[in-house]
Structure 1
Amino acid sequence: MTLRTKVLFAAVCVAVLVGSPAEAKEKIRIARLPEATAAVPGAETKPVWGWVDFCRRYRGECDSGRARAEDIKLDAAAWAVMDDVNRMVNQSIVPVTDQEHWGQPDRWDYPDDGKGDCEDYVLLKRKLLIQRGFPRGALLITVVIDLQGAGHAVLTAKTDHGDLILDNMRDEIIGWTATGYKFVKRQAQDDQNRWVSLQDNIQVPASVAANRQ
């Protein structure tokens, strides 16, 4: 076997073992499960008007009643689904303001026509993940103040690896403290129609938060 043949043979063996560069990158992306802390919820607070209005128009979406506070068991399979849903929704929706879209300053709705603002991204991600078997009580619509000082909505996924954020501003899912946002309020885990304030920058390990449920 010539030297050139040996080199080619080695390259083929590596390709077989590792797969294509894209496949290798995908395996690395899925294998690196994030670690984060959990936010500490505060007192019950007033629900966001956009959610109340959404529930008037989609009553079946909001009539589930109380639920068990349950965190997502984050493994490679769950992470892959969350990551795919976050990226797919972010890339398939054209961002428009509610004023441009509906002719009104604030309306929460499903982006069925392929257009929407931050709350609409959140509603669709939440719906798709619930349809894929994720617990409703672990997928919490969350209101924050973004880096520009404006109101913004993200989806908090409560997991046994901490509170992770699905955001239309980025495709990567990250821990809540890594966003740089000021966290204001979110849905309660045991009742999606009850909202709780968030004590910004107050956090506990994910294991401690799970034991408090």
Structure 2
Amino acid sequence: MGRTKTIALALFAALATLATGASAPRAQTLAALPLPSPSAQPLNPAKPLAAWTAFCQRYAAECALDPNEPARITLTPATWATIAAVNRRVNTALAPITDLEHWGTPDRWDLAEDGAGDCEDYQLLKRRLLADAGLPRRAMRMTVVIDEKGEGHAVLTLVTDRGDFVLDNKVSEVMAWHRTGYVFIKRESADVVAWVSLGGVTSPVTTANR
């Protein structure tokens, strides 16, 4: 077995154990969640990213959609603890590196199998671990935003019964989408293997106030 696969298996095993057994910090309890708020509303179909299309060709199971799965995650204290633990642990476990430095290409989506990656790789790994922990993949949507620097950025949106929450490699807190300060451009559809526009909706707070 190559070194890359050895690193990947060790990382997946360690994070999977944490996801199913770790307790969240006190601040990340269900009682600390904001009151339910409206979700970001998908609009028209949107063009997929070329890097996402290539990723789906390499990892078809990561892009497969089961219409029989719930479209929303029912948040419980245990589920919230798992989400918070996976987000925090992946953020600290992976080494940040740009796709250009990593692969010699401007944009490549991967599962950080060698322990390093950029924003989308963090989120794809989080989704893999959360799906392994029993959360419905259909309710976990890769999302493209414009960040506080005016640059393109990828986050993972969890559609829940308490609103949409964002997992982000820039912060360890799991945040309601409207607290991020990001401009939401588009995300994966929950109904077909495709993307939908979010219309460039801007969350009403700035990242400086998160």
> Post-superposition shift, 1:137?
1.1
Cα separation, 2, equivalents of 1:195 and 1:150: 20
Q: Amino acid of the residue matched to residue 130 of structure 1? A: A
**Residues 124-163 of structure 1 correspond to what in structure 2 (within 5 A)?**
124-163=125-164
> SS in structure 2 opposite 1:34?
coil
Amino-acid identity (%): 48
State the Cα distance separating 1:61 from its structure 2 match: 2.7
Matches within 5 A, 1:52-63: 52-63=53-64
- What is the aligned partner in structure 1 of residue 28 from structure 2? 29
Give the C-alpha shift of residue 32 in structure 1.
1.5
The residue matched to 2:91 in structure 1 has which SS?
Answer: helix
Measure how far apart 1:62 and its partner are: 2.8
> How far 1:66 sits from its partner (Å)?
4.2
TM-score, reference length from structure 1: 0.78
Deviation at 1:28, TM superposition (A): 5.0
Structure 1 unaligned spans of 5+: 1-24, 204-213
Q: Is the 8 A contact 1:144 1:151 kept in 2?
A: yes
CA distance in 2, matches of 1:181, 1:109: 23
1:195 aligns with 2:191: no
Structure 2 SS opposite 1:37: coil
Q: Does 1:117 align with 2:96?
A: no
Number of residues paired by the alignment? 178
CA gap of 1:67–1:152, structure 2 versus 1, over 3 A, is farther
The 3-state SS of whatever aligns with 1:51 is helix
Shift of 1:27: 4.0
Higher relative contact order (CA 8 A, sep 6+): 1
User: For the residues of structure 1 that align with 2:189 and 2:117, how far apart are their CA atoms?
Assistant: 25
Kept in 2, the 8 Å contact 1:186–1:197? The answer is yes
Distance 2:34 2:125 in 1: 23
| Contact preservation (8 Å) 1:142, 1:153 | yes
Which entry has the higher C-alpha Rg, 1 or 2? Answer: 1
Q: CA deviation at 1:76?
A: 0.8
Distance, in Å, in 2 between the alignment partners of 1:161 and 1:133 is: 18
3-state SS, counterpart of residue 130 of structure 1: helix
SS of the residue 1:78 aligns to: helix
Per the TM alignment, residue 67 of structure 1 is displaced from its structure 2 partner at its CA by 4.8
Cα pair 1:95 1:115 within 8 Å, conserved: yes
Q: How has the CA–CA distance of structure 1 residues 152 and 202 changed in structure 2, closer, same or farther, with 3 Å as cutoff?
A: closer
Q: Is the 8 A contact 1:67 1:190 kept in 2?
A: no
> SS in structure 1 opposite 2:130?
helix
Shift of 1:70: 1.6
The one-letter code sitting in structure 2 at the alignment partner of 1:198 is L
Say yes or no: does 1:170 pair with 2:171: yes
More strand by share: 1
